[in-house]
Structure 1
């Protein structure tokens, strides 16, 4: 599993996809980030500039509005009869002047809809005159509830003007404008005039300067008192440090960036003329609102970027599969060839270089298949010829002696034994002559050997004894045909002495792990140590065994056949027995892998 994962990770397709994605995602993602940062700063500067211009226009409008109110208070200097009245302050003796005062105050009252009332305090006789849109002109003596601090601040002002935000109802919309009237060109004060402003026009002018719900607007006096604020919830900002920071600025207008615990924001401020109160117009824009356009642009860029990235990925996968899919098919066929399947399973891999590679591969596999078939058939023919030669080497002298024994027995008229011997002989001849099969079960090979030994037993009678033992779990294992009889026959040709002790031959077949162990042991004459060493050398070096007596030729033929079938997976050992005799041990694998049966021309 790990090997497959490693192969997947190291495949050309994987590398190509990764490379193409890196070459597209990294530049594309970097461009989105750079574009966002640049757009963010650009839109921020643009938004700040637009708000600075908007606030400046608002300042001009509010300044003009306050200027108009201020001019109303200054218009009294144009009425000489009114000024004369203030200087004399004798109402009862100047009825004409009273009418002039009433007319002037009401003219001021109705000059602007935002004026709620007009108050006049005459310094000389401490007389208080007031008029409003709900009542006529009222004359009264000095009122105890009159706040002279407003008048004092107006008289101390270099512009003889003091504007104070009202408390109570609509505290951050209404305000009062107080002016001290001097005896020009002298500096002594004749009276104080006050205008009570409801602030509706101020609200109307201010509402055009900010976006409700997103931005905030404040109008603050030089003392830090709020003349106007966009929301009552924003009262929490009164004690915050940014108010003092704005008031401490030497410039009349500017931009400040401020960070709070909840969200950073930008302060844009401007100042109306000091002769009109010097109010500070302060606009607060949260960072989220300021960068909203940048976020929207970035979002649109990301949407289009994701769409473009999707198309790039699809194109990358298409190109990758288009290039690597033929290679995958080629690798798959190479693996099939490694397993022995020489049939190419594709028609064409295209008209490009990979297609040419595929055609060359097909041509190469076809040629290799032809060479294998030729060499394979030659090897089969070689094995077949070797088997025929081995089968023809069965000792004709044995057949002669066997037939002589059968004839002698027949003369004695022992018919059942004759039948048995003839049957065994027919088995031997049928088994040896049949060349259609080269592999037989071990039990079949031992049956053939048993028939051979029965005929030898009939020949030598009490001078011969033999035994064959086989384990059940190896009876059906296939072995090459006629590998045991030549080894046993070697005993009768070179080691059996019928004039002395009884000859014995034992054959045992056992299983050891995944091997078959076959031992053939006799009590014959054996061979000399010198001859045994030479035979082992000739077997190991595959040299031809040539001797006058023919000793070892049967061993060599059997050994060569086993090597043809099993290669290095088979073993044959020869040894003399200390008590007398000779032993041959053969070790064979139970399963044969990738071998072709000799003489079987139909199987490949």
Structure 2
């Protein structure tokens, strides 16, 4: 009795007194009944022959694919065997010491035609090679080119008379080779070999793949992936497990791992394995039919829910629909809607709160509108106070003209250099500029600093002529060198020395900037280096360096950028490495064309 009363109290307090919970309970009841039926049916149907039939089907298809693939592989062996019975092949690769120049040319022409015949006989053949052991020559056709090279015998010759099959993991191909023996004395005189891409099985793999989520692969005898249809590689532990299973007697030719199925077949005496990965969801295709049944049940449930909603709409849903329409009107910026608030249940509470919310929204809109108008006025005043960079450039030009007119050559030179710097910075250009433009800008900057420091500053600038057309991010050099003046020379009493060396090193541009400034302590140097690597905050000379370093890595890759070394009271050295990219070869999107 106590339990019964406790349940009744809970139902009365949390369900019966709330119209929202009453509707929720009723609708959930209608939905849960068919869902329970669906779960029972799906559980029953899932048990059965779906999995076994799929396994049997995949095993049969794998066996057929194995037979066809081995037939394809052996067809290349037949091609080589056909060449061994060519009566002119053996004489053509024996020593040519006693053959005339014309005869040697005809022999090479015959070998060339023979190899090209094999090479062009199949689109999947990568190369054809003929080796002569007597005259140590290697004849090869590859990429539609014919090569003759000296052959260095670095290993003991294989004297087998059968075909030699090998897998090349590095370029996803395999080779068939046959030794060539002289008819008269059966002496080993050479070898002929063809290299074939595993792409020859593309159409077989496509036919074997019955679903887009399945994967087709070939593994070598070490478990490495040598071919994949969808650029997928097996994990090492799975590859090893497949190889281990393939060596067992009475093998089932499939394993399961992480609920996925791996079907396999040994090819070419176990030197390669054909593997098909079938995900669990693909294997249990019967779930599709279960899903259709579930959809039907869900549709019935939805229909029952609609009918139930119609029955209770007069008591519950009607005020909600009315409130929804009021919300639509508010959504169209009509804040003068009339909302009834006479109800005392949850819907009445919702109506009252929504009316209060509309009132607050109206107040907020009025306040935001006033604030926006004030912001616009402030922005207009700020725009009025901005200085146009081109106006500043033109003004500097006028000042330099006045200085020249009054024979103040130093002032003229200074304003000219400053004007050119402003033009370089403010001109619209691409992200990358030619090195010679960056160096011209740097010369203008160094001129101003030279005038500033006078005889207390020595500058050495060397630019390798080979780098002038190379590309560099805009404003790379000035921020780095500006650090030397800002941090290195400001408190230095003796003569300041700055050395800038820009030269080509192999296929890269290396920029070395060395100053004899105050340098950095080991702690500060470590902080700056950490900033360049991990982009962490620091108070020392790295804001400009970090910006330049990040831009270099963005444009050219993470292997390029800035290196820095320093000793306190001695020197600071900054090395910038970027790849050489010729500016004349890039589009207008990347460089400035003026």
**Whose Rg is larger?**
1
Taking structure 2 as the reference length, the TM-score comes to: 0.40
Taking structure 1 as the reference length, the TM-score comes to: 0.40
